[in-house]
Structure 1
């Protein structure tokens, strides 16, 4: 099979349009169209259904696209490993983690990593969906549970618990609850029960809801919960790692907290020797150690 035609086919299938694929490949639409027709003739099959809104893959086209996509991911892996044979840490690193942890803990610490490795290009993907690391949807992940996928190297970084926090201004105005039953006199701010979240956090919220909370604000991520708490809106259910960067938050009902949530760093076995992965892993581990030390120093005697 002509590899150049396959490359053009993959770009067209990915873009869904001859024009857009041509822009990516720096080829004219007519040149792209000729290559696709030539590929279809060589395979004696139709790869696309053509209509006014664009191109749709036929069943045969889907088969070829799946194969081409797998090959592309393998080539990306090989390219990364070749580049990582150099001494310098550089190039793209795709990192995935949850919206809360990524925006509230990881992103504020990245300046230190860039200061040490200015030629890194980090693609930070914040979402609750678990991306497929072996299929190279991401290079490295920080997850709120131990990964179950095979062929992954994993390391437990830390543990997190969901606790109750509020701003001093809110508590001065509305009082500091001493018993859990008193949450019924306050506004609760938490993740929407229907949003993706760790089970331990959802269980804590469900328990609090049994006290007939009169006023409620739900958000689909912890970043939004934090902003509402900082704005003196109520008592929020938040992860305890926030106390490092937001020491002004006051913990409410210290005896109330979720079960422990393990935090794992994971990456594919085939990237074991990647210098970019090693640099990122060491950076995160150092930051976790520093985080633990600061929390211990602030703990009451």
Structure 2
């Protein structure tokens, strides 16, 4: 089939591209911020327009057919071109007024970003800020966000990354939980305590056992991939969880567990695309975030050290 002679809706093409890259409609819908039925209809409409089958289902995954593989390279090139056009247009804008999207983890988005954004809006009320709260890494080169706050340094050459400080996390629990179950005097006491997890893939468990804590899967009595939900599970007295120090230390009724234990430190990186960094609005927002995050990280470090 000569794909070059066929025209189709870019939204349908984008739905196909992300589904092919993510491997399932569920993951693609999450990446695009759409519902799975909507995404499925877009892919089906593209298949209907082209008169071919693009995916075959194998278990819970979708595998590309021969026609899908042939189309993928063309649509990927279209996506890269569309991204370059959008980036160039945004980068050339020197107006301060307008939209800026920031992506960060759910806990950071809910508890750390709002006061930072409030100060930005006081100084520049013409900037419209969208916060994409997600623990998944958004693709800045495809304009899924303008600025990202990450805990890993990106390796893409088109991205600008600035290290703005270190964050710290500890084991915390509610005072009510510790009153009921006792306050651990050493790591060995954790073996009898309930923990709150963030995932089922064992990443958190591996980190904690590597730190010398004698716990296993049986200790995790509740779990949520959403950090805000995990935080509220902690507040309800359901167990011990790893939480950012700047959030937990400022919350009444929450106590550090094993306070003499060294905190878990993690880097804070601020990231944007090179072309977007030439936009006055993006640059201003980026610099405001950098100053605020650096000041917050320094204050948190002083509190942990004290």
Please state if 1:271 is matched with 2:271. no
Please state if 1:82 is matched with 2:86. no
Please state if 1:164 is matched with 2:168. no
Counterparts of 1:219-258 in structure 2 under 5 Å?
A: 219-243=224-248, 245-246=250-251, 248-257=253-262
Query: Structure 2 CA distance, aligned partners of 1:213 and 1:256?
Result: 22
| 1:91–1:121 CA contact under 8 A, matched in 2 | yes
C-alpha change, 1:172 and 1:61, in structure 2 (3 Å) is closer
Q: Which residue of 2 aligns with 1:145?
A: 152
User: What's the RMSD between the two structures over aligned residues?
Assistant: 3.6
Deviation at 1:259, TM superposition (A): 4.3
Deviation at 1:77, TM superposition (A): 1.5
| 2:164–2:294 CA contact under 8 A, matched in 1 | no
Counterparts of 1:130-141 in structure 2 under 5 Å?
A: 130-141=137-148
Q: 2:79 aligns with which of 39, 55, 69?
A: 69
Q: Which residue of 1 aligns with 2:51?
A: 49
Q: Which residue of 2 aligns with 1:113?
A: 120
C-alpha change, 1:148 and 1:62, in structure 2 (3 Å) is closer
Q: 1:126 aligns with which of 119, 127, 133?
A: 133
Q: Which residue of 2 aligns with 1:203?
A: 207
Residues 231-282 of structure 1: CA distance to partner in whole angstroms, max 9, x if unpaired? 1222222122324642542111013345421111111222222222222223
Please state if 1:187 is matched with 2:187. no
Larger Rg over CA atoms: 1
Q: Which residue of 2 aligns with 1:286?
A: 291
Structure 2 stretches lacking a partner, 5+ long? 17-47, 54-64
C-alpha change, 1:204 and 1:300, in structure 2 (3 Å) is closer
C-alpha change, 1:248 and 1:300, in structure 2 (3 Å) is farther
C-alpha change, 1:208 and 1:282, in structure 2 (3 Å) is same
C-alpha change, 1:290 and 1:160, in structure 2 (3 Å) is closer
Deviation at 1:155, TM superposition (A): 1.0
| 2:8–2:49 CA contact under 8 A, matched in 1 | no
SS at match of 2:261: strand
| 1:183–1:213 CA contact under 8 A, matched in 2 | no
C-alpha change, 1:187 and 1:59, in structure 2 (3 Å) is closer
C-alpha change, 1:272 and 1:13, in structure 2 (3 Å) is closer
Residues 136-190 of structure 1: CA distance to partner in whole angstroms, max 9, x if unpaired? 3322111111111113221112212331111222223332111111123322123
Q: 1:91 aligns with which of 73, 78, 98?
A: 98
Deviation at 1:91, TM superposition (A): 1.9
| 2:177–2:238 CA contact under 8 A, matched in 1 | yes
TM-score between the two structures when normalised by the length of structure 2: 0.69
Structure 1 stretches lacking a partner, 5+ long? 17-45
C-alpha change, 1:82 and 1:148, in structure 2 (3 Å) is closer
Query: Structure 1 CA distance, aligned partners of 2:121 and 2:239?
Result: 36
